[in-house]
């Protein structure tokens, strides 16, 4: 029974995918969308039932289907594990997934390939579920690469535009770099534990009888973290995420904000018992996370493309989550994942709604004053913005604040970085808000005419998400946290959760003040002075560096892509030529000798006889006189 239900949970989106792929073209109007939505909704329903069951019974549901792979010292099965963590993840994956599907029905309805869109979207959900449900690392890897594939397909959804295709390609390849790390990590774990099952590894660790020196584990952890960097867009593998905004906005919301990019956090949380054994790696994670959040936030400060800003804010928020992971505060990371999923999805969908209204215009410099026409969008957007800026009582406040608190307790510098990042966040988010919704409209008259509030199918998800963004913090209030209780079974080492003392309240205060500083700056600049970001050419100095994302892409091109191509031409024009030249050289040599032989054969009997006698003499000399 459980097996069937689990399979239903897993396969419902896949079936949706199949139907949309094979029959989608014939389905008329919104049917593909509705179908896709229903598919995901089904999964959500099933997830819910499992969720209730597990959260009451505290007993994870294990499903073992059949043997998949054989390796020297162990086998790998197709098996699934529905425990607190995976179910929690499934909840918001399928939940938000459903909403975004719903949203897309309207958002994409006039696209020629709408059925493909929903097919891919369903496929993504399917792989995401696989990733989360898998009971061993290889199953996770299936999902891991599967979601990468879907993100590739969806980023390049408008495949006529080669820039989009490049973005898609970039995303896939950068993910692959991470995946290689992931694979290597898997190999090492395979050697050490002779298994890839989470449960086995965990018991092996907790039983405390490890044959291998722990540096093996550290390396494994590091490799896995590299994998996480790829998926979750951390330094140095983050540059694909902003480009990924080439995809349709719902995609950005679902894949590149709410779900896929959190896979890295999921993986590390999954293997928390492993990472606990590698404190040095945890340090690296924390630092990388903090730095990423800072860098991304700083770039976000002056982007003008509404989705780019959100993208960088996503990167920065992910950075904060990794910071938490690095500090060993897994529950808090998960907490922030969830809240972030709520408000970031909402923000993206909101921006989508705006873009929809603006007929594809994404540059904030040509927006403004939309709050009059787009009430719902504005309000939901405002709520989410407040949430991400970390103002109480919005969900973002609690999660982010806990992260910073932990940072403060364990590692002050990181706390500073994190705080600065969140101040920046507050600034650029409100900059976004002001530029988009306040003041007067700066677009063309043409656009102005068509400005309108989006239809219900779009606004409904916005509202739902906004509400969640508002109250989401409730699942883990400081002091008494439902989430920590719930996740306790899957987290090996309980992070000492600090009672709320004066320091804590002080820190909260600092955070809030920081947020207000950010908001204040934004207000001063964009409302008081009502300044509008200038054209790209006008940007100068450090701003220019920021605007060009620290030229990271250029650096990568110069350092990696170009050399590879150069190497390619070297191989092609030098080595290949040399080798085949050598081979042909042998042939030529033979021909030359042949020509010599021809000239020797000069047709004169005299010479022939002479050679004859010469032969005789040499033979006789050799045999009789050479002794």
The two three-digit tokens of residue 64, written as one number: 């073992």
| 176 near other proteins, rule: CB under 8 A | yes
Does position 149 interact with other proteins (CB under 8 A)? The reply is yes
Helix 395-410 with 306-326: angle, nearest 10 deg: 40
The CA distance from 596 to 621, in Å, is: 27
Residue number with CB closer to other proteins (156 or 289): 156
**In the complex, minimum distance from the CB of residue 572 to other proteins, in angstroms, rounded to a whole number:** 5
Using the rule CB under 8 A, give the single segment among 36-44, 48-56, 138-146, 317-325 that binds other proteins: 138-146
- 521 touches other proteins by CB under 8 A: no
132 binds other proteins (CB under 8 A): no
Angstrom CA distances, 91 to 39, 52, 98, 138, 331, stand at 15, 11, 11, 22, 16
7, 68, 441, 520: residue in contact with other proteins (rule CB under 8 A): 68
- 114 binds other proteins per the rule CB under 8 A: no
Candidates 27-35, 102-110, 165-173, 348-356; binding stretch for other proteins (CB under 8 A): 165-173
Total residues contacting other proteins by CB under 8 A comes to 81
Among 27, 45, 48, 142, binds other proteins (CB under 8 A): 142
**Does residue 213 touch other proteins according to CB under 8 A?**
no
Instruction: Report CA 177 to chain centroid distance, whole Å.
Output: 12
Interface of this chain with other proteins, residues 593 to 622, rule: CB under 8 A: 593-595, 597-598, 600-616, 619-620, 622
Asked whether position 625 contacts other proteins by CB under 8 A, the answer is no
Q: Where are the extended beta strands (E) located within 25-173?
A: 61-71, 74-82
Q: CA angle, 14 as apex, 12 and 16 as ends, to 5°? A: 75
Q: Binders of other proteins among 536-575, rule CB under 8 A? A: 564-565, 567-569, 571-572
Q: Which of 11, 21, 34, 200 binds other proteins (CB under 8 A)?
A: 21
Q: Is the four-CA dihedral 317, 320, 325, 326 of positive or negative sign?
A: positive
In contact, 244 and 311? CB cutoff 8 Å: yes
> Per CB under 8 A, does 78 bind other proteins?
yes
Q: Which of 96, 102, 138, 299 binds other proteins (CB under 8 A)?
A: 138
Measured from the CB of residue 615, what is the shortest distance to other proteins in angstroms?
4
What's the CA gap between 585 and 563, in Å, rounded?
31
Tokens 């939901």 found at: 380
Between 559 and 626, CB nearer to other proteins: 626
| DSSP H stretches of helix in 523-576 | 541-547, 552-556, 562-570
Using CB under 8 A, pick the residue from 43, 54, 106, 179 that binds other proteins: 179
Any idea how long the chain is? 627
Q: Does 70 interact with other proteins (rule: CB under 8 A)?
A: yes
Nearer to other proteins, 172 or 348 (CB): 172
Stretch in the footprint of other proteins (CB under 8 A) among 184-192, 201-209, 281-289, 311-319: 184-192
CB 475 within 8 A of CB 338: yes
Shortest distance, CB of residue 446 to other proteins, whole angstroms? Answer: 25
The alpha carbon dihedral of 141, 146, 151, 153 has a sign of positive
Output the smallest distance, CB 77 to other proteins, in A.
10
Q: What is the DSSP letter of 68?
A: E
Q: Out of 23, 59, 162, 555, name the contact with other proteins by CB under 8 A.
A: 162
With b meaning 16 or more CB within 10 Å and e meaning fewer, what string describes 148-170?
A: bebbbbbbbbbeeeeebbebbbb
Q: Is 588 in the site for other proteins (CB under 8 A)?
A: no
Q: Which of 180, 284, 467, 492 binds other proteins (CB under 8 A)?
A: 180
**Minimum separation from the CB atom of position 346 to other proteins (A):** 32
Out of 26, 160, 209, 449, name the contact with other proteins by CB under 8 A: 160
Q: Which of 7, 15, 173, 373 binds other proteins (CB under 8 A)?
A: 173
DSSP string for residues in 200-262: HHHHHHHTT---S-HHHHHHHHHHHHHHHHHHHT-TTS-THHHHGGGS-HHHHHIIIIISGGG
Q: Is 500 left (phi over 0), alpha (psi -120 to 50) or beta?
A: beta
């Amino acid at each position: 029974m459980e097996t069937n239900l689990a399979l239903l949970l897993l396969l419902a989106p896949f079936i949706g995918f199949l139907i949309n792929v094979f029959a989608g073209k014939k389905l008329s109007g919104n049917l593909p969308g509705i179908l896709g939505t229903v598919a995901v909704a089904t999964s959500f329903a099933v997830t819910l039932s499992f969720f209730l069951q597990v959260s009451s019974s505290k007993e994870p549901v294990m499903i073992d289907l059949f043997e998949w792979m054989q390796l020297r010292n162990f086998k790998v099965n197709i098996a699934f594990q529905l425990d607190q963590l995976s179910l929690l993840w499934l909840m918001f994956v399928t939940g938000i997934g459903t909403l975004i599907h719903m949203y897309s029905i309207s958002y994409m309805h006039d696209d020629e390939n709408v059925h493909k869109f929903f097919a891919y979207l369903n496929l993504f959900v399917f792989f995401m579920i696989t990733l989360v449900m898998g009971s061993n690392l290889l199953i996770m890897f299936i999902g891991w690469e599967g979601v990468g594939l879907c993100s590739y397909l969806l980023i390049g959804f408008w495949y006529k535009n080669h820039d989009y295709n490049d973005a898609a390609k970039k995303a896939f390849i950068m993910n692959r770099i991470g995946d290689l790390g992931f694979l290597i990590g898997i190999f090492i774990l395979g050697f050490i534990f002779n298994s890839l099952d989470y449960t086995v590894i965990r018991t092996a660790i907790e039983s405390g009888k490890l044959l291998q020196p722990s540096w093996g584990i550290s390396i494994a952890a590091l490799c896995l973290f590299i994998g996480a960097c790829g998926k979750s867009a951390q330094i140095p593998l983050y540059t694909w995420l902003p480009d990924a905004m080439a995809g349709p906005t719902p995609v950005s919301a679902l894949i590149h904000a709410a779900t896929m990019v959190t896979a890295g956090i999921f993986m590390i949380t999954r293997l928390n018992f492993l990472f606990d054994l590698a404190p040095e790696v945890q340090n690296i994670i924390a630092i990388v996370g903090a730095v990423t959040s800072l860098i991304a936030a700083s770039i976000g400060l002056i982007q003008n493309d509404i989705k780019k800003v959100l993208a960088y804010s996503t990167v920065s928020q992910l950075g904060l989550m990794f910071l938490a992971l690095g500090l060993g505060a897994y529950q808090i990371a998960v907490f922030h994942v969830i809240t972030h999923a709520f408000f970031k999805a909402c923000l993206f969908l909101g921006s989508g709604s705006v873009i929809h209204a603006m007929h594809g215009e994404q540059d904030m410099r040509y927006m403004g004053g939309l709050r009059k026409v787009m009430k719902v969008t504005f309000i939901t957007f405002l709520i989410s913005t407040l949430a991400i800026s970390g103002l109480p009582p919005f969900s973002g406040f609690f999660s982010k604040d806990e992260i910073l608190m932990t940072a403060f307790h364990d590692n002050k510098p990181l706390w500073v970085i994190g705080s600065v990042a969140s101040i920046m966040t507050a600034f650029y988010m409100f900059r976004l808000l002001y530029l988009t919704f306040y003041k007067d409209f700066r677009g063309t008259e043409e656009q102005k005419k068509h400005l309108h509030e989006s239809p219900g199918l779009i606004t409904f998800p916005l509202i739902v998400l906004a509400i969640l963004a508002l109250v989401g913090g409730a699942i883990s209030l400081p002091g008494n946290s439902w989430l920590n209780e719930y996740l306790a079974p899957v987290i090996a080492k309980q992070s000492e959760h600090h009672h709320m003392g004066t320091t804590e309240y002080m820190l909260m205060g600092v955070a809030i003040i920081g947020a207000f500083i950010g908001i204040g700056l934004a207000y001063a600049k964009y409302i008081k002075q009502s300044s509008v970001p200038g054209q790209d050419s006008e940007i100068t100095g450090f701003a220019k560096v920021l605007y060009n994302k620290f030229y990271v892409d250029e650096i990568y091109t110069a350092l990696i892509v170009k050399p590879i191509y150069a190497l390619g031409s070297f191989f092609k024009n030098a080595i290949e030529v040399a080798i085949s030249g050598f081979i042909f050289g042998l042939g030529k040599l033979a021909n030359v000798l042949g020509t010599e032989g021809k000239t020797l054969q000069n047709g004169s009997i005299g010479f022939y006889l002479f050679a004859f006698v010469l032969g005789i003499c040499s033979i006789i000399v050799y045999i009789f006189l050479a002794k």
